[in-house]
Amino acid sequence: MHHEAPTISPLPQSGLGDDEPYAIITQDVHKRFGGDKRPIQAIDGISIRVRPGQVTGLIGPDGAGKTTLMRLIAGLLTPDSGSLTVLGMDVRTQALDVQSSLGYMPQHFGLYEDLTVQENLNLYADLQGLPHAQRPARYQQLLAMTGLAPFTNRLAGRLSGGMKQKLGLACTLVRPPRLLLLDEPTVGVEPVSRRELWQIVYQLVADEGMSVLLSTAYLDEAERCADVILVHEGRVLGQGDPAHFTRFLEHRVYCVRQKTGLKRHLQARINAESAVMDAVIDGDCVRAILKPDTPPPTIADVCWRLLPPRFEDAFVVHLQEQVRTDTPQVTPVEDLPLAAGQPVNQSPVIEVHNLTRRFGRFIAVDNLSFSVQRGEIFGLLGANGAGKSTTFRMLCGLLPASSGQLSVAGMDLHTAAAKARARIGYMSQRFALYEVLSCEQNLKFFARTYGLKGQQQAERIAWAIRSFDLEPYRHTNSGILPLGFKQRLAMAAALMHKPEILFLDEPTSGVDPIERRAFWNRINALADQGVTILITTHFMDEAEYCDRLVIMSRGAILAEGSPSDIRALARTDEHPNPRMEDAFIHLVTERPIGEAGTKHA
């Protein structure tokens, strides 16, 4: 392991000589998309060096330019300027030779869903020119490694997300490449499969000496890489081994606890302290990062305990310092139906009993029961395909249930009048606003659909623009807003009519950690004013913000309770402080699951 200058420098001034055979060298690469009118600078001068024989992580939030960089390296895109050398070959002039010696798995795995597992393997063996004599042995090896051996005759389209991911990997590995490029292989895949994929990758590096470049938006995966390249908005923020990114934060990260009260209230209090740069809910405590050389402030009934810094801490601090000097100010969300401070009412506003939804023979939601109290933040946590969105659509009345009862604010929204629907707000998974309308026009449209007119409408729009800091983008078409602002606008639109219940479907997917913090601050403020919030997410750590949550897998509830209740399920002697992800893996692997499971029996 090579150790370099510890800080996040623009580029480590590598101690290695230039003659060291790097797997990838890029030199001041630029790439822009779109016409001259609205150019998007996807890659803005990236120079990196990727060492052979180890896992290098390309880490950054959505829109950072990870996929574009991957495609440039694979020769699928031509840079506007700069040079790319992969395995000693110039990508521009020797694209075909480069492609012959690397394996590339695009984001959606590149599988033919109407071919079987074996047929997909055969196709890639043909394309990569693996001699027939070598095939049986190689297939056997790959199938054993990925656990797909029992499923060779199954259509790829009918595999679970985790199995598709492994088949995609197996296809790119049919002829062992010298360099493996994996573009967000773990996004949206449940934690068990993620863990298994990492094991495979480590094995490849150890056994075959493969060089791996892996991109991910999950910051916690940085710690699994030997070397990390942090990218944001088309630039490299730094490169080095993960520990080096966090070293400067040692003695600055604390776990803050208090004996009574809600964690999110404590978080708000801690955040307001001038010595604190960042505070998030993390397990049982609030994780706070202090400004350099500042002791923890003294607050009554609050204890501070030092924590080792994590990669996400470093990333957040870095973004706050360098990229954005002003962190998004969260104006309290004022003027909602219930006065702040009103006691949390104990009558459930959402009740679900034995809710089931079938699509043909497929059971998307299987016998679900839960209830949500007024003013609660209730989470549905699960991987893609767990049935979260289907449950949501039934609750919002967008989809009839196959069987079971549900009531939202005392009604079944599928049969209830429009008036009842006016009491809920819904923010869908995809950006569902009109991209060719400006922010203001979108807000006006949504206000009108909820019957807000004249003075009232003007007031609500002014409120939305003020509370969500949309003023600079008031007249900008919503389609070209930065992702975080799109999300703010969508949430503002869902709140135009002061709903009592807010449904948020994967609202934080793809936004950077700072936006996510601002988002959760708003949600917390809403909950304090008595708004009931139902949220789905596949980010395990976000579950900590919920008052209560259910963990879903394959349409069924595996566990229900407060975050600490659920974490406690996975507590063992050797693992006294499990994280939410550990709990999830524990629940999924403990319960017997169908043959489609990712476990190989």
Partner 1 sequence: MRLLGLIRKEALQILRDPSSIAIAFLMPVILLLLFGYGVSLNAKHIPLAVVADAPDAQSAGLFAAFRHSQYFYVRTEPDLTHARQALRSRQVQAIVHLSSDFSAALMNTNRQAPVQLIVNGVDANQARLIQGYVTAAWQGWMVARTQQQGHEFKTPVALSTRVWFNPELRSRDYLVPGLIAVIMTLIGALLTALVMAREWERGTLEALMVTPLRLNELLLGKLIPYFVLGMGGMALSVAMAVWLFDVPLRGSLWVLTLTSAIFLITALGMGLLISIMARNQFVASLLAIITTFLPAFMLSGFIFDIGSMPNWLQVLTHVIAARYFVVILHTVFLAGDVWPVILPNTLAMLVLAAVFLGISRRRIRKSLE
Report the residue from 14, 27, 47, 99 that binds partner 1 according to the rule CB under 8 A.
99
Q: Binding of partner 1 at residue 80 (CB under 8 A)?
A: no
Report the residue from 96, 137, 418, 601 that binds partner 1 according to the rule CB under 8 A.
96
Question: Cα 43 to chain center, whole Å?
Answer: 21
Using the contact rule CB under 8 A, the part of the chain among 114-122, 398-406, 476-484, 486-494 near partner 1 is 114-122
Return the number of other C-beta atoms located less than 10 Å from residue 274's C-beta.
Answer: 8
Tell me how far, at minimum, the Cβ of 155 lies from partner 1, in Å.
8
Q: How far is the C-alpha of 49 from the C-alpha of 82, rounded, in Å?
A: 14
Q: Binding of partner 1 at residue 82 (CB under 8 A)?
A: no
Return the number of other C-beta atoms located less than 10 Å from residue 218's C-beta.
Answer: 18
Tell me how far, at minimum, the Cβ of 77 lies from partner 1, in Å.
6
Using the contact rule CB under 8 A, the part of the chain among 76-84, 291-299, 345-353, 443-451 near partner 1 is 76-84
Q: Are 1 and 241 in contact (CB under 8 A)?
A: yes
Report the residue from 126, 207, 321, 335 that binds partner 1 according to the rule CB under 8 A.
126
Q: Binding of partner 1 at residue 171 (CB under 8 A)?
A: yes
Q: How far is the C-alpha of 438 from the C-alpha of 19, rounded, in Å?
A: 53
Full DSSP string of 139-172: HHHHHHHHT-GGGTTSBGGGS-HHHHHHHHHHHH
Nearest to 310 by CA among 222, 391, 225, 194: 222
Report the residue from 7, 20, 92, 114 that binds partner 1 according to the rule CB under 8 A.
114
Q: Binding of partner 1 at residue 122 (CB under 8 A)?
A: yes
Tell me how far, at minimum, the Cβ of 85 lies from partner 1, in Å.
17
Using the contact rule CB under 8 A, the part of the chain among 98-106, 235-243, 329-337, 342-350 near partner 1 is 98-106
Q: Binding of partner 1 at residue 124 (CB under 8 A)?
A: yes
Across-strand partners of 352? 370, 406
Tell me how far, at minimum, the Cβ of 110 lies from partner 1, in Å.
2
Return the number of other C-beta atoms located less than 10 Å from residue 260's C-beta.
Answer: 6
Return the number of other C-beta atoms located less than 10 Å from residue 566's C-beta.
Answer: 25
Q: Binding of partner 1 at residue 11 (CB under 8 A)?
A: no
- Calculate the alpha carbon distances from 320 to 61, 310, 324, 513 in Å: 14, 16, 5, 10
Tell me how far, at minimum, the Cβ of 97 lies from partner 1, in Å.
9
Question: Cα 547 to chain center, whole Å?
Answer: 20
Two tokens, residue 416: 């209830």
Q: Binding of partner 1 at residue 432 (CB under 8 A)?
A: no
Report which DSSP code applies to 375: T
Tell me how far, at minimum, the Cβ of 18 lies from partner 1, in Å.
27
Tell me how far, at minimum, the Cβ of 576 lies from partner 1, in Å.
43
Q: How many binding residues for partner 1 (CB under 8 A)?
A: 37
Q: Binding of partner 1 at residue 589 (CB under 8 A)?
A: no
Question: Cα 571 to chain center, whole Å?
Answer: 25
Q: Binding of partner 1 at residue 109 (CB under 8 A)?
A: yes
Radius of gyration of the chain (CA): 25
Tell me how far, at minimum, the Cβ of 108 lies from partner 1, in Å.
4
- Closer to partner 1 by CB, 106 or 176: give it: 106
Full DSSP string of 271-304: HHSTTEEEEEEETTEEEEEEPTT-PPPP-TTEEE
Q: Binding of partner 1 at residue 387 (CB under 8 A)?
A: no
Binding site for partner 1 (CB under 8 A): 71, 74-78, 95-96, 99-100, 102-115, 119, 122-129, 155, 168, 171-172
